[in-house]
Structure formats: structure tokens, C-alpha cells
Structure 1
């Protein structure tokens, strides 16, 4: 069997999904989303691009992705891998955490997204995750009670670890190629609102246009143009959600030089027009 999967729930409340693959796989969808995500690698290895840099994720690692963070997973050293993901929103955290809701969100606020737990805590997470996978696969009576409780336990375990442990230094080590692309990505993130061309970026960072295009895709998993557009749309969403600025002003402020192009691009990525998105998030 090349692919085994099982899932339960909805991202609006709580969604969990187990997937096992035996063939090489790289995420084909370039995306970000308005809910939190936990990624747990049960076996194998993966390359994970998050926000502005690349991480090597190994068996037992946890990845915590905040809301509206661009990310993409790519093939690691091994073709086969098992992973478990959790999606949830603020309502889930408030309901499960109560007065401790902010504590449960601490793993999403650390300096890096990857947590590598000590062996004993890693075993505890593995048991939690495998139990969830088993319950949503076999669906015994009352299985719906297991994921919410297990996810809350997982968040609490990770939050306590974050409070007690320093960030993992291994993730500070980038190859020269990865370090260069991280510089480029940080520049894009800071200047997405200006006209940005691949050739001009190549000149700024002293590489050829072809080399930058190829290396950017290799390191991040994104084509340069796709990353730039996704960043602009993500920032436009924030302005539509959090301000009353006219939509035409928001288009200009996020780097779109054509209002019609902004509307079409926004709808292609979000499946809503800017006006519909503003109305739905109000």
C-alpha cells in the first residue's frame, strides 16, 4: 500500500489526520491557513520550510505552526514516512485550556517552530499520537472523546518543555546555500509591498538569476513568484481582517499594481473575493 490515511473532525474546531507513505512525496499545495497546526513525524525524515528558513525534521520531532505562516514539506532522506497533523482554532484552545489557554499556545510562540523532546517525553507524545490514530481508524464507541483530550495533553506537555528548556541549537546550523536563501526570503518578507523582480533580487544578493530561481525552489519548495504572491495575499488578508482601509488601498499596500489582478489573484488563492473575505472575517 503506497498510501494509508485516516482523519477525524474539522479545522474550524479540531481536525486530526494520520498519513503513512511509502513513495517519495513533496507537498504540492503552497499554503498558509488561519488555524494552528501541529505536525508530528512518527517515522522517516522530512525537509520543512517555515516562514523564512528550512528545517530538517526527524522521527519524533514536533513542528508548531502558528496562524497564517507560510510552510511546505519536502522529501527527506527516506522516501517512506508517517506523520500526524492536528489543526485547531482559538475556540478549541479556550474551551480546553480555560484559564490556561495562553500556556497551551506557548509552543507556537518560541523562536523556532521545531521541538525535539527528550526521549521519555517523546515516548509519551508517541503514545498519545498513536492512540489517536488507532481510535480514529477503528472508531470504537466514544472514540470522538479521545482526540480533544489527547491534543490538550500534547499541548500541555510541549508548553512545559518550552518553559523549562532552551531552544534546540541544532536548528541554528544552515548550509551556505540555505543561509543565502533565508536572507532572500527575509528580504521578501520585509519588502513584499514594493516591486520585486527576480533579476533585481539576484543582483542584490550577488547570484545569477537562474541560480537564484533554482536554489530558491530547491530550498523552500516554492517558486519565487508563487512565494511572493502568497506573501502578498497573506498580508492583504490581515489588512482586510484587521483594518477598515479601502480594498483598493490594500491592493496597492501589498504590492499589487493592478486592482483587477489583485482581485483575481486573491480569489484564486483564498476562494473568496477580497470583499467576501472581509465580510466573513468581520
Structure 2
């Protein structure tokens, strides 16, 4: 069965709940959005999200727009975009899939990422999109949302292949109907190339000591431009992203392995166990040991 969306976030509104697993980063949810429960509070995550309303009415809120959705309508919310879900009238219910883009891109060095994903994901060109069944191409996207959540609910043998295929079709339709013009993305293209190199360094070397200078050097730019590049694209500093990535990898190991907590800290770049515990608690509001117990 699909689980309800239950938020755990840090003071910067970043959601800390992992979606899926490190090997298959996609989670499916079935959530009631009720006025008395406060809806789904403002938050953001590194993953993209697609949803549709199965009953009642729900308002999807982004910083610069609000969409009132009735049964059968849906929305796409891009990665790293602040958003919330509020009840309209008596409220409603939504089914959603939250997925990391690497599941369909195959990594940042592929044609899929460079040509189709990066122009839409890394920047604010498209923060989100209301999906109406009255628009033929959006109707097709809604069908993929329904298909994806059904696959995540049933989890039959081979469902991972089918989910990946459905997400790819969803993104292909999105790209075909919203892709920006080349002239509008020249600055973004430069940032995309730089960001890709810096993120690849972080993903590969996060378990080792890393500083701002090393991260900037990966893209052959200065430290100030490195800071600006991260702020322009994903809205956090390089070291904030590195810390968040280390903690998220530690959370995955706590859920999926029986490794000692201290060893997990070392594997994720924390030499001091007390520093690891303190940092983990800052993000998850639990110690690593309590987090592991809560996931059993």
C-alpha cells in the first residue's frame, strides 16, 4: 500500500524524509489533505514530484502561484521548489510520486541529462505546472502519474522497470511542451556544466574531507563564482549541499544496513562520532540510533 506523506524537515524547510531507497530513489504516497490537520506544510526536496487529486479539492501552493485542483486534476513540482498542499472546502486526497531525477537521467554525464533534464530541472525556468485533463498533452502526463503510483502501490515483479519507463514518458512530454529557447538558457547552460562537475566531485568524494576550494576547482572557477553558481541553480551553498548529501547517505545506510553507527559516520565523511550524531540530529531531529530504531 502507498503510505501517507509525513513531513520531517529542517529549519530551512528542506524535507528530510528519504523517498524510496538509494538504489531506487522513488516513493509513492496516498495522502489526505484536511483543514483540521493543517494540510501539508511548506517544504522542498531535491526530488521532483508529480501528483493528482483522487477526491475533493486541494490547493497546491508555490511561492508565486496557487492552483486549486479538483478531482482528476494534478500538478508537477520541480526539484528544489518550495511548495505546500492546503485543503479547499472539506479538503481532499492526493496520490503522488516523488523521484530523484537520476532515476531517469542515468547520471549527469548522459545525453538524457544534458539535453532533456538539465534545461528544465536545474533552474527556475519551470518551477511547476498545473495538469488538466482538458489539455491533451497534460492528460497524457496525468495518465503517467496514475500509472506510476499504481505500480508503486502494487510492486509486482519488475515494477521498477515500468516505473522508470513511465517517469521517462512523463518527462519527455513535459520537455516537448515546455522546453526553453536556446537563447534563454545560455547562462543556465554554462552553470549546468559547472554544477555537474562540482556535484560529481561531491557524489564521488563525499566520504573524504572536502572544502570550498576543492569543489570550485572541479569546475575550474573561483570560490566566489562557485558560491554564486550553487545559489543560482539549487539555492544552497556548496558546503550546505555537501553536508545534506552526507547526512542523506548516512540515513540510507542506517535504514538499509546493520553497520555500526560510528562506521556509518566515518563512511559518510564524519571523523568524529559526536559531530556525526550532532549533525544528524540537526537534520532529522533524532540521533542516528533513534532514527534506526524508528525505521525497524
Q: TM-score with structure 2 length normalisation?
A: 0.51
**Within the alignment, does 1:162 sit opposite 2:166 as a pair?**
yes
In structure 2, how many angstroms separate the alpha carbons of the residues matched to 1:73 and 1:164?
Answer: 20
Number of positions where the alignment pairs a residue of Structure 1 with one of Structure 2: 198
Q: Bigger shift: 254-263 or 180-189? A: 180-189
In structure 1, how many angstroms separate the alpha carbons of the residues matched to 2:13 and 2:168?
Answer: 36
Which residue of the partner structure matches residue 31 of structure 1? Answer: 15
In structure 1, how many angstroms separate the alpha carbons of the residues matched to 2:13 and 2:201?
Answer: 23
**Within the alignment, does 1:14 sit opposite 2:25 as a pair?**
no
Residue deviations 1:209-236 (CA, integer Å, cap 9, x gap): 1110121122111122211111001111
Which residue of the partner structure matches residue 232 of structure 2? Answer: 218
- Match among 67, 75, 80 for residue 72 of structure 1: 80
Which residue of the partner structure matches residue 184 of structure 1? Answer: 198
Q: Bigger shift: 215-224 or 263-272? A: 215-224
- For structure 2, the residue ranges without an aligned partner over 5 or more in a row are 20-26, 29-48, 53-58, 65-73, 84-92, 106-112, 122-127, 152-161
- For structure 1, the residue ranges without an aligned partner over 5 or more in a row are 1-11, 17-26, 48-59, 65-70, 76-83, 90-104, 129-150
Which residue of the partner structure matches residue 235 of structure 1? Answer: 249
Residue deviations 1:243-275 (CA, integer Å, cap 9, x gap): 221111111110012211110110110111111
Post-superposition shift, 1:32?
4.0
Change in CA separation of 1:72 and 1:189 when aligned onto 2, cut-off 3 Å: same
Post-superposition shift, 1:109?
4.3
Change in CA separation of 1:181 and 1:124 when aligned onto 2, cut-off 3 Å: closer
Q: TM-score with structure 1 length normalisation?
A: 0.53
State how 1:51-130 maps to structure 2 within 5 Å. 62=76, 71-73=79-81, 86=95, 109-111=103-105, 119-123=135-139
Post-superposition shift, 1:28?
4.2
Change in CA separation of 1:177 and 1:44 when aligned onto 2, cut-off 3 Å: farther
In structure 2, how many angstroms separate the alpha carbons of the residues matched to 1:31 and 1:242?
Answer: 20
In structure 1, how many angstroms separate the alpha carbons of the residues matched to 2:247 and 2:282?
Answer: 10
Post-superposition shift, 1:155?
3.7
**Within the alignment, does 1:257 sit opposite 2:265 as a pair?**
no
Post-superposition shift, 1:160?
11
Q: Is the 8 A contact 1:15 1:86 kept in 2?
A: no
